[in-house]
Structure 1
Amino acid sequence: MNNNVLVTGGNGFLSMQLILQLLKQGYSVRATLRSLEKKATVINTLKANSVINLEKLSFVKADLTSDAGWEEAMHNVTYVLSVASPMFSASSKNKNGATEGILRILKQAQTAHVKRVVMTANFGAIGFSNKDKQSLTTEADWTNPNEKGLSAYEKSKLLAEKAAWQYLKTANSKLEFTTVNPVAILGSVLNEHVSDSFGLIKNLIDGSLKRIPNIPLNVVDVRDVVDLHIRAMITPQAKGQRFIASEDGQISLPEIGALIRQKRPQLANQISTKVLPDWIIQTGALVNKQAQEGKFFLDINRNVSNQKAKQVLGWQPLSNNETTILATVDTLLKYDLLH
C-alpha cells in the first residue's frame, strides 16, 4: 500500500487543515477542486503556515455533482477523505446532493480499489433526536430524519450518511468505510475562511444577542477533528465505525460569554450579561421560527461521549472547551471577522 491520500474539496476550512497535517506527516496528497483557479489559494495558504514539502501535493478538477475527473482523482490512491459536500442552500432544487455525492465517491473508490474512505459526517446525524438529558449520546444513536426543527442541511447530511452505510451493506464491497461526526468545529484557522459554527461566537461578541439564551453546546477544535480523521484513516479497528469528534464535556452560551469577558476583556463591553430565560424561548416557539430553532437546541441532550475515539483510535483531545473558544475569538479578531 502506498501513502497516497485523496482529500475532497481541497480549499475548504477543514480540508486545508487536513492537507497541512497530512503533508507534515509525509503523505502524498491529491486534492479535488471544483475549479483549479482555487489552487493558488491553497498553495499560498499552506506556504503561509510553514508547509515546505508542497511537491507532494497535486490537484484534480472534480465536482461531486458529476463523474468527470474522479477516475483521475482516485488513481493509485489508498485512502480517501471525503470532506466536501455539494454546495447547499435551503432553496436548492436538488435536496439529494449530499447523498449523490457520497455514493459517487464510494462507487469511484470501489472501481479504483481504494482501501478506505473516511467520510466527514456530522453530529446532527447522531444526537439531534436524543432529548433525554439523563442519558449519554453515543455513536449508536441516530437522529430521526423527520425530527421537527432539523435543518434542511442537517437532514441532507444525515440522509447521505445513512445512504452510504446502506449502499456498502448491499454492495458486498471490500471497500472499508468510516465516518467522523464532529460537533461545532471551531478554533484557529489557516486563513479568513471559517466554518459556519463561528457564527455562534460572532453573534455573542458583535452585540446581536441582547439576552443570551441558556443553550448548551458541544464544541471541538479543528486540529482535534484533523487528528481524529487521520487516526480513523489508518487504524485497522476503525473499519465500519462512526466516531464523534468533540472536546470533553459541554459549555453553554452564557458560560462562553463569561469566559470571553474574563479572558478577552477588550471585548467585555460588547457581550451581554443578561440571560434569556428558557420559558421565553419555550413560549416563543409556539409562534416564532427563531424561537423554534432555539427550543430545538435547548431540548437536545448535550451529554455527549467521545470515549469511542479515545478507546479505538487512541485519540486524546489537544484542546478543551475553553481553549477552543478563545482560539475562535482570536481568529475572529485576527481576520477582522466581527463586522
Structure 2
Amino acid sequence: MRAPTTPVLVTGGTGFIGSWCVLALLDAGYSVRTTVRDLRREPTLRSWLHAATPFDDDRLTVVRADLEHPDGWDTAVAGCEYVLHVASPTLRGTPADDDALVVPAREGVLRVLRAGRDAGVRRTVLTSAFGAVGIGHPPRSAPFTEEDWTDVDSDIPPYQRSKTLAERAAWRFVEDEGGGMELAAVHPVGVLGPLLGPDDPPSLRLVRRMLEGRVPACPPFGMGFVDVRDVADLHLRAMTDPAAAGQRFLATAGPSLRVVEIARILRDRLGERAAHAPTREMPVWLARALGTVNPELRLLRHQLGRDLDATSAKAERLLGWRARPIGDTVAETAESLLAHGLGR
C-alpha cells in the first residue's frame, strides 16, 4: 500500500493492540500520531518501537487525549485521513454497575467520531471485539459471523455490553451524522502474541498464570484466538481497502481452542519452562460452583462448557487477510513473557 503524507491517528498507542498497530504503520511507511492518557509514557513507547523496527522519530507524534474528556481530540485528528480507534476505557476492579463501562465506552467512541468528522477524516477503523458478536446466545454449532450481534438484553458481563453498545452507537452516528465519513470495525477473538515491552495486557494473563503455575485446572470452555500482529495487519487492510467501508470483520486464527489445549501447546513447545502449565480441565459443575466465589469464573459463566466458534472467512475473502498458525502464536506469547521477566 502507498503511505500518504498525512499522519494516521491511532488512539491508545501504549495498549497491546494499539502499539502493534503503530508499529505496523511505521513499518509500512506511514507517519503516525497516537494518543496516550499520560505523556510520561511517551519515552517508554518510543523505546519499545525503536527496539522493534528502525524509524525516524519525526514520523511518530504522541499527543495527550483521554476518551472520558473532550480536550485534545481536535488536535489529535487534525490533518488525518485515517483513524484507527483502538483505545477503550479501562476500569480497575469489578464495576459497581454496567454504566461504569458502558457510558465511557459509548461516549468515547462518539467523541472520536465527531472530532474525525469535523476534521474531514476519510475512514475510521473501530477496534470492537468478539464480545460484541457472540455473547448471550443459546448454544449453537454454527460459527459466529459478522452478521451476529451480542444480545445485550441477556445477563452478560459489563465489558461485552459496553463493546456492543459502543459499536452500535458508532454505526448509528456514521449513518445519521457522519457526513460521508466511512467506518469499518475489527472484531478480534482472544488476542495473544509477543509483547513489545514488559507490559501486562489482560489478554495474556491466562498464559502468564499457566507458566507461573497459578492455574491448577483449566476452565472448561473453548474460544477463538488470534495473533496481535495479524490483528494489526487486519486494521491496516480495513483502513485502505475500498471493500472494507461499512463492514465488520472477525479476526480469528481458526476454530475454537479449548483452554486445556493452550496448556498442552505450552508444554509441548516450551518443555520444562512450561512445566507448571495445567494438564486437566475442571468439570463444568465445579467451575460453576467456584464462580459463586471467584469473580473471574463468574464473568465466564456464559462460556463454561461451550466452544464459541467464529469464522474469518469474510476478512479472508474481501481483504486477502490470513492468520498465522495459533500454535506458533501461543509459543511466541510464552517466549515473549519469559524474555520480559514475566510468567516465572
Q: TM-score range by the shorter chain?
A: over 0.9
Cross-structure match for 1:327 = 332
Residue 32 of structure 2 aligns to a residue whose secondary structure is: strand
Q: Check the 8 A contact 2:27/2:53 in 1, yes or no.
A: no
What CA distance in whole angstroms lies between the structure 2 residues aligned with 1:337 and 1:288? Answer: 24
Letter in 1 for 2:69: S
Cross-structure match for 2:106 = 99
Cross-structure match for 1:51 = 54
Cross-structure match for 2:7 = 4
Cross-structure match for 1:203 = 209
Per the TM alignment, residue 151 of structure 1 is displaced from its structure 2 partner at its CA by: 2.2
RMSD, aligned α-carbons: 2.1
Mark the CA change 1:104 to 1:260 in structure 2 (over 3 Å): closer, same or farther.
same
What CA distance in whole angstroms lies between the structure 2 residues aligned with 1:260 and 1:160? Answer: 35
Letter in 2 for 1:36: L
Per the TM alignment, residue 192 of structure 1 is displaced from its structure 2 partner at its CA by: 1.1
What CA distance in whole angstroms lies between the structure 2 residues aligned with 1:120 and 1:184? Answer: 13
Q: Check the 8 A contact 2:70/2:111 in 1, yes or no.
A: yes
Residue 137 of structure 2 aligns to a residue whose secondary structure is: coil
Residue 89 of structure 2 aligns to a residue whose secondary structure is: coil
Cross-structure match for 1:215 = 221
Whether 1:66 aligns to 2:69 is: yes
What CA distance in whole angstroms lies between the structure 1 residues aligned with 2:63 and 2:289? Answer: 51
Letter in 1 for 2:106: T
What CA distance in whole angstroms lies between the structure 2 residues aligned with 1:335 and 1:287? Answer: 32
Per the TM alignment, residue 294 of structure 1 is displaced from its structure 2 partner at its CA by: 4.2
What CA distance in whole angstroms lies between the structure 2 residues aligned with 1:97 and 1:205? Answer: 34
Per the TM alignment, residue 245 of structure 1 is displaced from its structure 2 partner at its CA by: 1.0
1:2-23 deviation digits (Å, cap 9, x = unpaired): 4420111222222111111111
Letter in 2 for 1:128: I
Per the TM alignment, residue 232 of structure 1 is displaced from its structure 2 partner at its CA by: 0.3
What CA distance in whole angstroms lies between the structure 1 residues aligned with 2:76 and 2:298? Answer: 43
Cross-structure match for 1:239 = 245
Per the TM alignment, residue 43 of structure 1 is displaced from its structure 2 partner at its CA by: 1.3
Q: State how 1:89-128 maps to structure 2 within 5 Å.
A: 89=92, 90-91=94-95, 94-95=100-101, 96-128=103-135
What CA distance in whole angstroms lies between the structure 1 residues aligned with 2:61 and 2:337? Answer: 30
Whether 1:156 aligns to 2:162 is: yes
Unpaired stretches in structure 1, ≥5 consecutive residues = none
Q: Check the 8 A contact 2:223/2:256 in 1, yes or no.
A: yes
Per the TM alignment, residue 278 of structure 1 is displaced from its structure 2 partner at its CA by: 2.6
Whether 1:265 aligns to 2:271 is: yes
Q: State how 1:140-155 maps to structure 2 within 5 Å.
A: 140-148=147-155, 150-155=156-161
What CA distance in whole angstroms lies between the structure 2 residues aligned with 1:91 and 1:337? Answer: 27
Q: Check the 8 A contact 2:137/2:151 in 1, yes or no.
A: no
Q: Check the 8 A contact 1:186/1:197 in 2, yes or no.
A: yes
Residue 176 of structure 2 aligns to a residue whose secondary structure is: helix
What CA distance in whole angstroms lies between the structure 2 residues aligned with 1:289 and 1:30? Answer: 37
Q: Check the 8 A contact 2:32/2:60 in 1, yes or no.
A: yes
Letter in 2 for 1:56: R
Q: Check the 8 A contact 2:32/2:59 in 1, yes or no.
A: yes
1:40-89 deviation digits (Å, cap 9, x = unpaired): 11111111113223221112222212221111111111000111112324
1:145-195 deviation digits (Å, cap 9, x = unpaired): 1332x3222221221111111222222620101111111111111101242
Residue 140 of structure 1 aligns to a residue whose secondary structure is: coil
Structure 2 length-normalised TM: 0.91
Matched residue count:
337
Cross-structure match for 1:253 = 259
Letter in 2 for 1:40: P
Cross-structure match for 1:129 = 136
What CA distance in whole angstroms lies between the structure 2 residues aligned with 1:315 and 1:115? Answer: 22
What CA distance in whole angstroms lies between the structure 2 residues aligned with 1:114 and 1:304? Answer: 31
Cross-structure match for 2:78 = 75
1:199-250 deviation digits (Å, cap 9, x = unpaired): 1112323222222233212111010000000000001111111111111122
Cross-structure match for 1:13 = 16
Q: Check the 8 A contact 1:185/1:197 in 2, yes or no.
A: yes
Cross-structure match for 2:341 = 336
Q: Check the 8 A contact 2:144/2:311 in 1, yes or no.
A: yes
Mark the CA change 1:330 to 1:35 in structure 2 (over 3 Å): closer, same or farther.
same
1:100-135 deviation digits (Å, cap 9, x = unpaired): 100001111110010001111111000113333321
Residue 6 of structure 1 aligns to a residue whose secondary structure is: strand
